[in-house]
Each structure stands twice: as structure tokens, then as C-alpha cells.
């Protein structure tokens, strides 16, 4: 499909190819094809060879570089913590599709991190910033800023949410287990 200005498109619809246009607002590139991120009207800038979408809704909740997300840690392995992205901070709109993000060990916090499991555990609720969008449903994330990181830590022994007892230390009110995390300055507990 080769889209024309004024065409109505849905998320994922092919608009053109990267040899012809550059992806712009509300579009993304996938295997050489430019696709729509949202439902809306195609807008082609022939002078600058850019293709974009004018969204049908006022402000679709969509992942983009620099936005802060809320999510839950689903897996921590070696160099990467996987986050199921629940939503974008300060919006009341849900994401149109389920999205996953990854926090690389180098993006967990400022300075050296020996083991990523000292910063995140499965079940933790986190706030992170998008550093790179990879397709429509995947993103690289960072928690290096002080206000980013774990908002609620889940005990690895009994699965209760833990209370903050130090800068990056938490303690379970149920079993007394103490653990470390990369805590947000806004930790709730």
C-alpha cells in the first residue's frame, strides 16, 4: 500500500517505504516499511520527504523517547530487566497495545552495578524513562535518575510489598526479610 495525504489509516497500516520517505510524527519504521502508530489521517510533506499521521483522537497514549512509564518487572536475567509497561505517567489513557521495555544493567543507575538482581526483582513496580522506541510495542528504558526506579518492592520470600529502611534498602513487614533495590526518590512504603 502506498498511502496518499488525506487517507485514513489504522495502527500498523503500511504507509510507504524508507527509500521514499522518512518516518515522522505518529509513525515508525519496520523492516524498511513506514507504518502508522495510531488511527488517523496521513500527511505527506513532499518538500522534506516526511510522512506523518494526524491522530483521530486528541492525544493517543503512545511510547516515545523521553516519556516516563509505569510498569512491573516481569523478568531479570543477567544484563537486562524486562518490564511490562502498564501506562504512561501523567496520562489517564491506556496504551492501545501491550508493550514491553528493557532496562539494561548500564541504565539501571548511575555508577557500576554488579548484579541487576540487587536493583530489581520480579513483581516490583517501577517508574522508568523511555530512551529508545523499538517498533510499536518495545522500548529501551532507564532508571538512572533519582526520581526513577522501584516505587514498590515485592519481597522475594513471601511476596508482600516492602518498607523502605535506607537509601536503597527495603524490609518486609511480614517476614522481616531485608533486600536492596534501585529505589525511586518517590518510593511508596
**What confidence score (pLDDT) does residue 150 get?**
96
Q: Tell me: pLDDT of 92 over 90.
A: no
**What confidence score (pLDDT) does residue 189 get?**
73
Question: Whole-number mean pLDDT of the chain?
Answer: 89
Q: Are the CB atoms for 116 and 78 separated by under 8 Å?
A: yes
Burial label for 131, CB within 10 Å (0-12, 13-18, 19+), is middle
pLDDT tens digits, one per residue of 174-185: 999 999 999 999
Sheet order of strands, 14-17 included:
14-17, 33-36, 27-30
**What confidence score (pLDDT) does residue 59 get?**
58
Which of 60-69, 82-91, 103-112 shows the lowest per-residue confidence on average (mean pLDDT)?
60-69
Report the C-alpha gap between 36 and 173 in whole angstroms. 47
Q: Which domains does the chain have, with CATH numbers?
A: 8-55 (2.40.50.100), 68-153 (2.40.50.140)
**What confidence score (pLDDT) does residue 171 get?**
96
Of 63 and 10, the structure prediction assigns the larger pLDDT to 10
Q: Are the CB atoms for 18 and 29 separated by under 8 Å?
A: yes
**Which of the four pLDDT bands, split at 50, 70 and 90, describes residue 58?**
low
Report the C-alpha gap between 62 and 156 in whole angstroms. 32
The pLDDT of 127-153, averaged and rounded, is: 91
**What confidence score (pLDDT) does residue 55 get?**
85
CA end-to-end span of the chain = 52
Question: What's the distance, CA 24 to chain centroid?
Answer: 20
Task: Kindly provide the b/e burial profile for residues 31-47, where b requires at least 16 CB atoms within 10 angstroms of the residue's own CB.
Answer: eeebbbbbbbbbbbeee
Q: What percent of the chain has pLDDT over 70?
A: 94
3-state secondary structure (DSSP) of residue 184: coil
In this prediction the pTM is 0.69
Report the C-alpha gap between 171 and 179 in whole angstroms. 6
Q: Tell me: pLDDT of 98 over 90.
A: no
Amino acid at each position: 500500500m502506498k498511502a496518499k495525504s488525506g487517507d485514513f489509516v489504522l495502527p500498523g497500516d503500511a504507509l510507504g517505504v524508507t527509500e521514499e520517505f522518512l518516518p515522522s510524527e505518529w509513525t515508525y519504521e519496520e523492516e524498511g516499511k513506514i507504518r502508522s502508530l495510531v488511527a488517523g489521517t496521513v500527511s505527506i510533506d513532499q518538500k522534506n520527504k516526511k510522512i506523518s499521521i494526524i491522530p483521530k483522537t486528541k492525544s493517543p497514549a503512545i511510547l516515545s523517547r523521553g516519556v516516563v512509564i509505569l510498569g512491573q518487572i516481569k523478568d531479570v536475567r543477567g544484563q537486562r530487566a524486562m518490564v511490562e509497561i502498564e501506562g504512561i505517567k501523567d496520562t489517564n489513557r491506556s496504551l492501545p497495545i501491550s508493550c514491553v521495555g528493557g532496562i539494561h544493567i548500564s541504565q539501571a543507575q548511575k555508577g557500576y552495578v554488579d548484579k541487576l538482581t540487587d536493583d530489581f526483582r520480579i513483581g516490583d513496580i517501577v517508574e522508568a524513562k523511555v530512551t529508545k522506541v523499538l517498533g510499536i510495542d518495545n522500548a529501551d528504558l532507564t532508571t538512572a535518575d533519582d526520581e526513577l526506579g522501584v516505587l514498590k518492592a515485592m519481597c522475594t520470600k513471601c511476596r508482600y510489598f516492602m518498607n523502605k529502611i535506607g537509601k536503597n534498602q527495603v524490609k518486609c513487614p511480614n517476614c522481616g526479610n531485608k533486600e536492596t533495590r534501585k529505589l525511586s526518590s518517590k518510593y511508596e512504603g
